[in-house]
Amino acid sequence: MPDSSFYVTTPIYYVNDKPHIGHAYTTILADVLVRYARLFGRQTYFLTGTDEHGQKVQRAAEARHTTPQAHADETVVRFQELWKTLEITNDDFIRTTDERHKVIVQEILQDLYDRGEIYRDEYDGWYCVTCERFYTEKDLVDGKCPEPGCGRAVERIAEANYFFRMSNYQQWLIDYIDQNPTFIQPDFRRNETLGFLRQELTDLCISRPKSRLSWGIELPFDADFVTYVWFDALVNYISAIGYRRDDEQFAALWPAAYHLIGKDILTTHTVYWPTMLKAMGLPLPRTVLAHGWWLSGDSRMSKTTGNVVDPMEYIDRHGVDAFRYFLIAEMVVGQEANFTPEAFARRYNADLANDLGNILSRVTTLIVKHCDGRIPEVSELTDDDRALQDLATATAGRVHEAVERVRLDAAVGAVADLIRETNRYLERRQPWNLARDGDKASLGTVLYHAADVLRIASGLLHPIMPDRMTACRSALGLTADEPDFENLGRWAVLPVGSRVEKGPALFPRIEAPKKKELKKKEDSPMTDDNLIDITEFQNLELKTAKIIGADRVEGADRLLKLQVEVAGEERQVVAGIAQHYTPEDLVGKTVVVVANLKPAKIRGEVSNGMLLAASDGDVLRLLTPDGDIPSGAEVR
Ligand code: MSP
């Protein structure tokens, strides 16, 4: 993160979508980073918004017999309201239909056109309506859209269009990325972009003829065309902060930008956007950080599978802060994470209900009962007290360092360590027994220590759980609106004598999702005819295999051909799993294969083995080992 100002952006979300966990996650991540930056004393600016032009909005509006603008006006509210509910502290919300945005897009286009950066040409290529992108013949995968997770049929389109000379900047961009290692984060995403740039970069088609799509920003130099939705959308990051309008604001925030995105929009942000900025003569944003996907039970969330997590469901049941905490604690930024009701209940009960909430409840109960409801004085210190103080005062530094590396999971972990240790401290010092024995001096010391830890922990977690941590702080008699970071690294800031209140439980325990009732084996006896001898099983050679390549099989909707490596040997296996996994989901996974199956030809493709998978109705899951193991390992 930059030292001085910190300008954070989220992607602007398609206004059509119902807000889901993907949108909520990026926005919460941005909010938490901004709140930490503020806590550390930085100047911040936080922008989010909606992407409102393009085919999808036009079609949705047509289906509802309304205008695209009216449709967008109605649906944008869903995002704006969710951000309010989620305690998002954005400074601005930009809509690409805002006049302030449209005029800037047009000025940029005119300027680039006047300088020959944009030209007109005939175009003949393949177009995916869903992704709103053109592809060349060689881009297509099995004749279909190559976008990960799309794979839909494409249309052949021949028409005149306008192009941005993106190809001119290929070498410049490669050099820039090489020389600025923090521009694209994490590192493996930088390599992904560099890999993309090894192929020849073509010019970017930045227009759509109105005859096909009218819902967009009109090209200022040709009224028969509107602007390609990405060329319009990316500009939001500068139109919102006063580019060409408010030089002072713009200079204060650009290029201190930190773009948070999902991994699926890496190319647009690390190839299109930098080359557009270069052509405009602007410096590039400091960092583009791509996070991974939230999965649902290890598979991709999709509307068709119906496993998309609805944020409102969790917020209504367990509160906004618990939801924010789970998302931030559970995902290592950059990697994938899994959202399941079980994981949510586990994390919530362990960290929040049993640890943090429990300490606050114990401490406030004892202070109210035995210390007249006031923070008690400290008397003689033991080594145990000093060790707790040391850990507590070191925690702010650990959190700061983790946040700087955007390892919010580690920041949460540092506070969780402190809380766990405080629980152990209370178990060792047994304040309830000190109270019973009337040892007021030791009781005061122990309770003061636990309470001052809570002051520090609640301050450090405030950016993640602003509401619950404010409640925790006011239970301890701390009334200032926001914690002061300096004080979070100091011991004994909590004033002796301040009033403590025992409020309702901060995080009431939640029921873990119910397990299914299991039948005892004796209740469903097997007959001898369906039992096999162990030797029959031993005839099967089951081995682990690493998937190193995956592709669709032409003309077969259900089949994928996989290249797998089994103990240094490569073989092809054809599997009927295309409706459950995309090729991208599979590469890198270790699975289990029947290795001694006679080769067979399926739809003209040789299959050398069979994958093991579990299936239940429409659900199918590949069997994978529970941890790292080399390929070729025996499965028995
Ligand atoms: N409108 C474009 C962005 C333009 S930015 C100039 C767009 N919008 S989107 O609404 O489709 O997606 C927004 C973000 O949600 C993307 O960053 C995407 O990665 C993220 N997610 C969608 N599903 C997700 C998960 N299941 N998990 C995490 N994030 C995912 O793309």
Report pLDDT for 553: 84
Which CATH number fits the domain 338-488, given the four candidates 1.10.10.10, 2.120.10.10, 1.20.1050.10, 1.10.730.10? 1.10.730.10
Residue 237 CA, closest ligand 1 atom number:
6
Which CATH number fits the domain 531-622, given the four candidates 3.50.50.60, 3.40.220.10, 3.30.43.10, 2.40.50.140? 2.40.50.140
Nearest-CA residue for ligand 1 atom 21 is 22
- For residue 567, name the pLDDT band (cuts at 50, 70, 90): confident
Residue 308 CA, closest ligand 1 atom number:
26
How confident is the model over 203-210, as a mean pLDDT?
95
Residues 394-424 pLDDT 10s: 999 999 999 999 999 999 999 999 999 999 9
Distance 628 CA to ligand 1 centre (A): 30
Residue 14 CA, closest ligand 1 atom number:
10
Distance 13 CA to ligand 1 centre (A): 7
1 has pLDDT over 50:
no
Residues of the chain with CATH 2.40.50.140: 531-622
Residues 22-56 pLDDT 10s: 999 999 999 999 999 999 999 999 999 999 999 88
Nearest-CA residue for ligand 1 atom 2 is 13
* Residue to mutate, 15, 26, 230, ligand 1, most ligand atoms under 8 Å from C-beta: 26
Distance 536 CA to ligand 1 centre (A): 50
Rounded Cα distance between 76 and 305, Å, is 25
Ligand 1 pocket residues where CB is under 6 Å: 11-14, 17, 22-23, 25-26, 51, 233-234, 236, 261-262, 264-265, 293-294, 301
Distance 262 CA to ligand 1 centre (A): 6
Between residues 141 and 306, the one the model is more confident about = 141
Nearest-CA residue for ligand 1 atom 5 is 11
CA 490 to chain centre: 33
Distance 88 CA to ligand 1 centre (A): 17
Q: Within 13 Å and on the Cβ side, how many CA atoms surround 196?
A: 18
Residues 511-557 pLDDT 10s: 877 755 555 655 555 556 667 778 778 888 999 998 888 888 887 88
Average pLDDT, the chain: 92
Distance 266 CA to ligand 1 centre (A): 11
Report pLDDT for 525: 52
Residues of the chain with CATH 1.10.730.10: 338-488
Pure H helices in 202-357: 229-233, 236-239, 247-253, 266-267, 273-280, 311-318, 320-330, 341-347
Backbone angles phi, psi at 236, to 5 degrees: -55, -30
Report pLDDT for 269: 98
Rounded Cα distance between 88 and 84, Å, is 6
Nearest-CA residue for ligand 1 atom 12 is 13
Residue 260 CA, closest ligand 1 atom number:
17
Nearest-CA residue for ligand 1 atom 10 is 13
DSSP 3-state of 439:
coil
How confident is the model over 347-373, as a mean pLDDT?
96
